[in-house]
């Protein structure tokens, strides 16, 4: 009799062990799809949502939802269920997940089960270790900083309406939350830039995610063309005014300023989304990618930074408020926003003031974070 | 028919005699969820069989796992080194630390082991046609019936990474940006992790919490704990005389403002600007920078802007 019991126990152990092995294989596969996008081998499983077969997006929630609906995937690997998007340090969440934002998924394979958290890490770029020229240009010797012994990740793009809504679901201690939600226009899409937060609210958003509002020095470092990439310790400070080249007399803005080009076309708008581009409604406003992968560095929305040297130069004025040939469309040229409101008196545009055409403005922002390694 | 059933049952019972499947199941059910591993056997990765001291229990590692109710459980692997008899691999599941104890707790033994080697590679390597990847434990050796190769994933543990241009932002876990936990029993009471700091904390008001600090002679007096800061963290220039040793605070970074820490400039850049060869934190130190009109001042702990 004891043999029978033992025999069944062994069969049970072997089955459970194999369930766990299959579970871990499926976790590995899902992570690969999350971090690397859709691979050819997996396309056959996506029978329920063929529209995803052509997508190469990384960190794609749609792709996870596809897998969760796929019978083929659940039979061959594990049954997965996408639970929720998390801002993970929110104190009421039951697991201390070491990421700032994640997607929670349940995995089930026979008797084996696990909760899996996938970090939303596709929208940040690493700032390469090197010397950078600071905004301070009063004397050459005071114009350096470097990050050889610190590591920074920067958000590629500005914070969206959807991200703010998700934050406020978690940050229930934040008193201004309801007011902010009410202020978001109903027609705003979740992927539209968030334009209605005061500076202290932006600080709250970023710090709630374990980050900081982007500083002007980090933004400049990641967006100004580095010139010579063969060395990380240049002899002379270089602050290029364009993201595409360190030379001044080149690129789309210079072509329009110099009169080489007269009409602003869709191609120009793809590089710098300026006033002339407002008719091109379907166009992506994020402009060129910089050498580090940062987007929306010229044109598009007004954007605020922490400026640790000149606090009254904290606003990227380069935006669709100005024509393409405007002086504002240069890296490092910044106006001022007091961070308190959105009326004309809250701004100071040192030159080419747009207040004759507008009575209020929206301001975008993005976050960055330091990591130990 | 009856004969066949009996034969199968006898065969499976023979299979179980060495405890292999129970051991493997018990390990795979728990250790991949570990949040930390300590006390790792020093001869790991040496590609040598563990032969001495014979007839002695040696610890391979201890793993800390949070169970379904959110409580801590300890899982140890021990090995009784073969002497006259073959060796034993033992998995202990215990509510108390099993770091020094190979006898108490829930025990699963796998007997008849010899030639055990333990691996926890820091980089991908190939051993006997098998690829060993970082972030996992591997046990190889001979069992009663055959050679074995047992892989134990450690999903939540950090692996080394190189940060450079175009590096991804995913955390450097075994599988980048992935964390696993046991499916939590929602009825159980949760022990919330204590996070550090409030949104309003700042250095000027004396409320900023230090989450890493070094002494003047470069000793780490507060070990890095900044990942537990509720509202982020930032670096400041402290009193350490060793480059790269920053004091870190929890909270919102307001560096450069009056009464706040100076923004760190970086050692290489400061050296170009006549940095003192011995001191890093001193009045006027170029190791930090401030808003225009303010100067760097060392307040005894931090380089601040005044």
- For residue A338, is pLDDT > 90? yes
Query: Can you say whether the dihedral through the CA atoms of A44, A46, A52, A58 is positive or negative?
Result: negative
Asked if B113 and B142 count as a contact pair (C-beta separation under 8 A), the reply is yes
Q: Determine, for residues A114 and B232 on separate chains, whether the beta-carbon distance falls below 8 Å.
A: no
Q: How many CB atoms lie within 10 A of CB B54?
A: 12
**Sorting pLDDT into bands at 50, 70 and 90, what band is A277?**
very high
Q: Which one has a higher pLDDT value, B17 or A92?
A: B17
**Sorting pLDDT into bands at 50, 70 and 90, what band is A7?**
very low
Q: How many CB atoms lie within 10 A of CB B291?
A: 19
Q: Determine, for residues B179 and A117 on separate chains, whether the beta-carbon distance falls below 8 Å.
A: yes
- For residue A6, is pLDDT > 50? no
Mean pLDDT score, A144-173: 95
How many angstroms separate the CA atoms of B94 and B74, rounded? 5
How many angstroms separate the CA atoms of A297 and B139, rounded? 51
Chain B neighbors of A99, CB-CB under 8 A: 171, 177, 179
Model confidence pLDDT, tens digit, residues A293-333 = 999 999 999 999 999 999 999 999 999 999 999 999 999 99
- For residue A276, is pLDDT > 50? yes
Q: Alpha-carbon dihedral of residues A76, A82, A88, A94, nearest 10 degrees?
A: -90
Model confidence pLDDT, tens digit, residues B35-93 = 999 999 988 888 889 998 999 999 999 999 999 888 899 999 999 999 999 999 999 99
Percent of all residues in chain A with a pLDDT value above 70, rounded to a whole number: 93
A312 contacts: CB under 8 Å, gap ≥ 6: A336, A348
Best to test chain B binding among A1, A308, A313 (most B CBs inside 10 Å): A308
Model confidence pLDDT, tens digit, residues A49-63 = 777 777 778 999 988
- For residue B186, is pLDDT > 80? no
Among B21, B179, B232, beta carbon nearest to A207: B232
Token pair of A164 as six digits: 């703010």
Q: Which one has a higher pLDDT value, B117 or A235?
A: B117
Asked if A133 and A179 count as a contact pair (C-beta separation under 8 A), the reply is no
Chain A neighbors of B232, CB-CB under 8 A: 206-207, 209-212, 369
Asked if A42 and A29 count as a contact pair (C-beta separation under 8 A), the reply is yes
Strands A112-119 and A101-109 come out as antiparallel
- Is the backbone peptide bond immediately before A87 cis, with ω within 30 degrees of 0? no
ipTM associated with this complex:
0.91
Interface of A with B in 141-160 (CB under 8 A): 141-142, 144-151, 153
Among residues A140, A149, A218, A136, the alpha carbon closest in space to that of B273 is found at A140
Distance (Å) from the alpha carbon of A149 to chain B's nearest alpha carbon: 5
pTM of structure: 0.90
Among A13, A119, A208, beta carbon nearest to B231: A208
- For residue B11, is pLDDT > 70? no
Helix, strand and coil content of chain B, in percent to the nearest 5, comes to 10, 30, 55
Among residues B203, B50, B222, B199, the alpha carbon closest in space to that of A209 is found at B199
How many angstroms separate the CA atoms of B272 and B249, rounded? 27
Q: What is the pLDDT of residue A221?
A: 97
Percent of all residues in chain B with a pLDDT value above 70, rounded to a whole number: 92
Asked if B170 and A121 count as a contact pair (C-beta separation under 8 A), the reply is yes
Cα Rg, chain B, nearest whole Å: 26
How many angstroms separate the CA atoms of B302 and B236, rounded? 7
Distance (Å) from the alpha carbon of B23 to chain A's nearest alpha carbon: 9
- For residue B8, is pLDDT > 60? no
Q: Which ranges of chain A would DSSP assign to H, the alpha helix?
A: 2-36, 61-69, 71-76, 161-170, 177-183, 199-208, 216-223, 252-257, 266-271
How many angstroms from the chain centroid is the CA of residue B80? 26
Strands A363-364 and A302-304 come out as parallel
């Amino acid at each position: 009799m004891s043999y029978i019991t033992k025999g069944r126990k062994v069969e049970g152990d072997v089955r459970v062990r194999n369930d766990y092995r299959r579970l871990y294989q499926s976790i590995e596969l899902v992570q690969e799809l999350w971090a690397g996008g859709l691979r050819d081998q997996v396309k056959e499983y996506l029978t329920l949502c063929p529209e995803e077969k052509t997508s190469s997006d990384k960190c794609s929630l749609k792709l996870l939802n596809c897998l969760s609906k796929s019978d083929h995937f659940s039979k061959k690997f594990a049954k997965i269920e996408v639970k929720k998007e998390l801002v993970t340090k929110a104190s009421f969440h039951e697991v201390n997940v070491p990421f700032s934002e994640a997607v929670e998924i349940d995995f089930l394979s026979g008797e084996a089960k696990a909760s899996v958290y996938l970090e939303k890490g596709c929208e940040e770029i690493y700032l390469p270790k090197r010397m950078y020229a600071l905004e301070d240009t009063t004397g050459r010797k005071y114009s350096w900083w470097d990050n050889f012994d610190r590591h920074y990740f920067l958000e590629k793009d500005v914070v969206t309406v959807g991200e703010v809504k998700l934050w406020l679901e978690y940050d229930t201690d934040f008193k201004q939350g309801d007011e902010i939600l009410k202020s978001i226009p109903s027609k705003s899409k979740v992927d539209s830039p968030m334009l209605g937060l005061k500076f202290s609210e932006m600080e709250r958003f970023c710090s709630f995610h374990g980050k900081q509002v982007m500083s002007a020095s980090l933004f400049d470092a990641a967006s100004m063309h580095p010139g010579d990439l063969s060395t990380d310790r240049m002899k002379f400070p270089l602050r290029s005014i364009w993201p595409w080249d360190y030379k001044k007399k080149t690129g789309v803005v210079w072509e329009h300023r110099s009169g080489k080009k007269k009409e602003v076309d869709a191609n120009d708008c793809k590089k710098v989304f300026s006033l002339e581009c407002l008719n091109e409604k379907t166009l992506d406003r994020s402009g060129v990618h910089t050498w580090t992968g940062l987007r929306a560095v010229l044109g598009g929305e007004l954007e605020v930074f922490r400026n640790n040297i000149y606090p009254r130069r904290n606003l990227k004025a380069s935006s669709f408020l100005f024509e393409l040939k405007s002086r504002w469309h240069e890296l490092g040229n910044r106006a001022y926003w007091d961070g308190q409101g959105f009326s004309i008196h809250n701004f100071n545009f040192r030159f080419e003031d747009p207040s004759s055409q507008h009575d209020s403005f929206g301001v975008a922002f993005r976050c960055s974070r330091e990591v130990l390694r | 028919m009856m004969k066949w059933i009996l034969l199968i049952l006898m065969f499976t019972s023979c299979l179980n005699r060495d405890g292999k499947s129970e051991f493997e199941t018990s390990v795979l059910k728990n250790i991949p969820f570990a949040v930390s591993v300590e006390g790792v056997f020093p001869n790991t990765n040496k590609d040598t069989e563990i032969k001495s001291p014979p007839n002695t229990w040696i610890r391979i590692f201890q793993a800390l796992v949070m169970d379904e109710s959110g409580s801590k459980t300890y899982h140890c692997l021990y090995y009784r080194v073969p002497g006259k008899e073959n060796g034993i691999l033992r998995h202990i599941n215990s509510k108390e630390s099993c770091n020094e104890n190979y006898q108490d707790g829930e025990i699963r033994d796998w007997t008849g082991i010899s030639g055990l080697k333990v691996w926890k590679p820091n980089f991908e390597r190939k051993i006997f046609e098998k690829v060993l990847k970082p972030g996992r434990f591997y046990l190889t050796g001979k069992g009663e019936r055959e050679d074995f190769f047992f892989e134990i994933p450690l999903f939540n543990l950090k692996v080394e990474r190189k940060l450079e241009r175009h590096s991804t932002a995913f955390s450097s876990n075994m599988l980048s940006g992935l964390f696993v936990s046991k499916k939590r029993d929602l009825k159980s009471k949760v022990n919330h992790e204590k996070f550090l700091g409030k949104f309003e904390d700042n250095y000027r008001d004396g409320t900023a919490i230090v989450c890493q600090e070094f002494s003047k002679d470069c000793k780490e007096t507060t070990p890095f704990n900044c990942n537990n800061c509720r509202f982020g963290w930032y670096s400041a220039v402290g009193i350490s005389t060793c480059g790269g040793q920053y004091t870190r605070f929890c909270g919102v970074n307001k560096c450069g403002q009056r009464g706040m820490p100076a923004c760190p400039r970086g050692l290489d850049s400061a050296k170009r600007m006549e940095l003192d060869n011995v001191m890093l934190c001193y009045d006027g130190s170029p190791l930090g920078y401030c808003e225009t009109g303010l100067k760097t001042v060392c307040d005894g702990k931090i380089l601040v802007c005044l």
